[in-house]
Structure 1
Amino acid sequence: MSRERYDVIVIGAGLGGSACAGLLAKRGLDVLLLEKNRVAGGKAMSLAKNGFRFTAWVVIGAPVRDNYYQRVLDELGVADLAELVVPGTQGSIYRNPAGRYSMLPDMPVGETDPNVIFAWLEIPEHRRPAALEFFAELTFMPSEKIASLEGRSFASWLDQYDLPLSLRAFLTSLCCDGMFMVPSDRLDAAEAIASLQEMFLKGGGVFCKGGFGRVAEAYCEAVRRFGGTVQMGTRVERILVESGKVAGVRTSDGRTYRAPVVVSNAGIQPTVLKYVGEEHFEPSYVDYVRSLVPSYALLGYRYFLSRPVTDRPYGVIFSDTSPWTSDRLERAARGQASREGVVYYEVPSNYDPEAAPPGKQILLTGSFCPPDPDLPREEIQAWADAGERILFDAFPELPAAIEDKDLYTTRSVANATRDSAMPGVGGETIGLAQVVGQAGTKRPRIESPLEGLYFTGADAGARGVGTQMAIASGIRAAEIVWERRRHGR
């Protein structure tokens, strides 16, 4: 039975919100966690259909070692509720200029061998020493030098090197386009290099059996075990403000819950512009919030297959020309350039035997598109068709094995996760983009100007890749709220 007064209310049971709520509950605070959906996980929620189970869309975790998923599961004592798995292999596919597709050879997790990559990318022998020198510089760059690159685009940093086109495509397609969902000419170089280092040295490709929503569900269970309250299917309509301070929330069913602290995992823009209201902030802060740029979106299919078509757990399909630039994305959105680019795929049944009925397989795909949740149907289909053509070329046996397929779109993402508070925004895959001016020391703060209001999730206060960045933000938000409470602020 829920009550009306709490120490802290957390809005949204995504990975950041649920981690924050669990950690605060463990510290002894009376926590209420509200989630509009019937399941936890946010942008990484788990779904099930006809005996298949999976994360709603492609989600590939990195790094593997010392990852935030396990760190918080262990701290909250719920590691038995979510089983992480590291397949150890991947299936990235390079299409060479002649149109031939080849798969990346296997390498041990966390032991990236540049020479294996160079051979796969068909880099001539005489260009490999310089490429190896570049690889070493990127992988072992000191943190002080990485920090000095903040404010510079990753593309401009790459431009100073004479890299083979295929190696540059590998870095931007396999790593940066997928890790950050922004083109490299806008991606912050420090953010990219720090995350690439972690992936190369600690491995990439960690998943959760049953989907990453299981991790968030475990965090929610920790909230309950530590005496907190979790209410699913409860949509927050308004964050209440009294005398210039947060006072609680009102839900769509008309109920009011009181608390001096509200931590929002619902996105900075929806929180400020919709749930609180512009009138409670200085105009300059409202302008700042409106100016924040979202990441691009993923759009793709869930293929339910009658038989296996690949033994690989995940990968990216790319070519020398597939990496996106801002200009090409804008022209493609207007129908003035090809929409064919990088395609990501994940095969949950290849790392989780219970993800598909016996003898069957599920394969998820994702490719770039604008984050507008109101994209016209014909534009959605054009983006989807572009990705599907590439997938079918790479896996020619796949079409004949399809029993059913679901298309997920920017509207699917917005409906399930982030409410749209501005035109053209809401369907983004990650949240606020890690572009120059919005990353590192310029990342939006967890603390808001409104007393008692905090942000968590991929939008605020952390760096890294997607879901693990969200958890890192949740950890930091819990620390900030706890410290301020201890000191009576």
Structure 2
Amino acid sequence: MKTEAEYDVVVVGAGLGGLSVAALLAHSGERVAVLEQGEGVGGLAHAFVRGGYTFDPAVHGIQSGEIVWNLLEYLGVDDLCPYVLSPHFYGAAFPDGVTVCAPAGWDAFVETNADLLGGAEGAQVRRFFQVLRDVLDEMAWLQMRADPRALATMMAERPTFARYRSSPVSDALDDYVPSPLARAVCTAAWPFLGTPPSRLSLLNFAQMLNTYLEGVRYPLGSFQKLADAFAAAVTRYGGEIHVGTPVERILVAGDRVTGVRTADGVTRRARVVVSNADATTTLTGMLGEEHLPEPYLRRLRRMTPSLSAFTVFAATDLDLGSLGLAHETFLHPHWDHEENWRDVLAGRPASAWMSNTTLCDPGLAPAGEHTAILTALAPWDPGQPWHEIKESFADTMIRQFDRVVPGLSDHLTYREIGTPITMHRFTRGTRAAMYGWENTANQFANKRLPHSTPVQGLYLSGHWTEEGCSSYRAITSGFTSAKAVLEHLGNDIGKTLPRTFRQRTGFVAPATRNWYFVDHHAPDREDT
């Protein structure tokens, strides 16, 4: 079998979790190759152009942007990705004509939501968000690795965190928010994490709010610009990116990886493989269950993926800028989010959201027009083939948003549909899961998969890992993976990398390249 090249690291998948780890490793002096099965980089952050309209399929705003752009600055590519800062977190439309446009910043956000209802219900809203802020404050003082003998004392000192650390959001609602209207308002943003308050991790929800309320950034030109900036860093520092190159097999000798084999039969040797691909596909498909210990496999089999998504990519000639919209607006057909969730599971559009990215960047559509990207959570199997029901599903979704933008359904200038089948074609993810594992309390943080695996030299990056879902967390998973890989390779630069890039470093010159010897005579354990 032909051996095409040897590398220090092969990265499988060019989503943000793969590109960020590859960029940091290349900048740190490692020989890196990124192999992407699709025809372009970005994963869920890629964008496409149709007839003058630019659409982001899945990512429409990034939280904790300060950290992300500090990382880009460190790599010297921040100039490739200018951005605008949205003044809003989200908008939301509820039954009975109740609407809110929630601003960024904790205090303004809380008061806007509380004033929407006023009186006793407004007080409930304030109390709920104070509980979340107490949880976040107590979490901030927890040690990364605590002595188990001190755990009881630590929990006693952090009673709010201790109460809700393994709870769904609904536990805090039950404790402090009896009003159905206040409950709905407090948790309007649950679709951003893909699971309803009765299932959604409270810690996850609190962290999501906290990072988004720092301010939502949108890269000028679409989220493709962010992916392209990381890709530019990879190649600028000597790395390679190969698109249209699906990995068929992760090669193993003994208990360690030796490289990968792609679908065209080419072998690429490496000391380390980092997979940004779907975790189940990586571990049971590309690698093979026979290389994993049974306890690890049992854990993997217990985990459940999130739902997928149905998307209508549309444009309109209506003047959306005159309506006072946030650039993303939720539409909840029912006050009870559990009822909205039941609609979702039944294959009916509910708690969908509209992303009008042209409110941030007018250049994404022709003059006088706006994009309207409508997204609804959707099951992989709605009980009927998606190709048979997609048009009626889209029609229903669009008509629903006439409540937010009057006349929208009669003023579309473009329309294209993406189903879960479409998402699977581009990502090859298990059941086209939009958020990786479902964001339940028992699948949050270290209850997701760690970056290291039982096979030496095989690492994971992306929203299947401990950081969780969202573009920001995919990127942070990348630099967590990079630090682990650098330690594995004996590269001391990993010790100098900031933990979060919360502080600015300025551009850092790349390291001198290390030319590691790869033992290409080690036998592969190839299984079919």
For normalisation by structure 1, the TM-score amounts to 0.88
2:310 equivalent to 1:299: yes
Q: For structure 2, which runs of at least 5 residues remain unmatched after alignment? A: 140-157, 493-528
Residue number among 168, 171, 184 corresponding to 2:197 in the alignment: 184
- Structure 1's 344 and 322: CA in aligned 2 closer, same or farther, altered over 3 A? farther
In structure 2, the partner of 1:474 is 478
Deviation at 1:379, TM superposition (A): 4.9
> In the alignment, is the contact (CA less than 8 A) between 1:110 and 1:199 conserved in 2?
no
Letter in 1 for 2:195: V
Paired position in structure 1 for 2:97: 100
Q: Do 2:90 and 2:326's aligned partners in 1 also have CA atoms closer than 8 Å?
A: yes
- Tell me which amino acid in the other structure corresponds to 2:304: V
Cα pair distance change 1:373/1:264, threshold 3 Å:
farther
Q: How do 1:157-172 residues align onto structure 2 when only pairs under 5 Å count? A: 157-172=172-187
CA distance in 1, matches of 2:74, 2:255: 35
C-alpha deviations, 1:261-284, integer Å up to 9, x for none? 100000211101111111211233
Report the equivalent of 1:24: 25
For 2:48 and 2:336, the matched residues in 1 are separated by: 30
Query: Is the CA contact (8 Å cut-off) linking 2:11 and 2:273 kept in structure 1?
Result: yes
For the pair 1:78 / 2:71, whether they are aligned, the reply is: no
> Aligned residue for 2:138?
143
CA distance in 2, matches of 1:71, 1:372: 41
Q: Is the 8 A contact 2:15 2:227 kept in 1?
A: yes
| Equivalent residues, number | 467
SS at match of 2:443: coil
State how far apart, in whole Å, the 2-side matches of 1:61 and 1:280 are.
37
Amino acid at match of 1:131: V
Shift of 1:127: 3.7
The answer to which of 214-223 and 183-192 deviates more is: 183-192
Matches within 5 A, 1:4-43: 4-43=5-44
Q: Equivalences for 1:95-244 in 2 at 5 Å?
A: 95-96=94-95, 99-104=96-101, 107=103, 111-120=107-116, 123-141=117-135, 142-144=137-139, 145=158, 147-148=161-162, 149-174=164-189, 176-178=190-192, 180-200=193-213, 202-203=214-215, 205-244=216-255
Identity rate, percent: 26
What is the one-letter code of the residue matched to 2:110? Answer: P
- Please say which of residues 164-173 and 474-483 is displaced more in the overlay: 164-173
CA distance in 2, matches of 1:166, 1:319: 12
Aligned-pair CA distance for 1:239: 1.0
Letter in 2 for 1:238: R
Paired residue for 2:378? 369
Conserved in 1, the CA contact under 8 Å of 2:398 and 2:409?
no
How far did residue 373 of structure 1 move? 9.7
**Alignment equivalent of 1:452, drawn from 454, 457, 460:** 457
Deviation of 1:384 after TM superposition, in Å, equals 3.6
> Aligned equivalents of 2:466 and 2:349: distance in 1?
33
Q: Deviations over 1:409-456 (max 9, x none)?
A: 111111111344xxxx2x121211221221123121000111111000
Residue 139 of structure 1: SS of its match in structure 2?
A: helix
Cα distance between partner residues in 1 of 2:254 and 2:442: 33
Cα 1:95–1:159 change in 2 (3 A) is same
For normalisation by structure 2, the TM-score amounts to: 0.82
Alpha-carbon distance in 2 for matches of 1:360, 1:302: 14
1:437 — aligned with what?
Answer: 442
| Structure 1 residue runs without a partner (length 5+) | none
Quick check: 2:47–2:54 contact (8 Å CA) kept in 1? Answer: yes
Structural RMSD (CA): 2.6
Describe the shift of the 1:330–1:11 C-alpha distance in structure 2 as closer, same or farther (beyond 3 A): same
State the distance in 1 between where 2:384 and 2:269 align: 38
Mapped to 2, the partners of 1:111 and 1:104 lie a distance apart of 14
Q: Which amino acid aligns with 1:168?
A: R
| Structure 1 residues 355 and 167: alpha-carbon distance in aligned structure 2, compared to 1, 3 A threshold | same
Q: SS in structure 2 opposite 1:431?
A: coil
Q: Is the 8 A contact 2:260 2:268 kept in 1?
A: yes
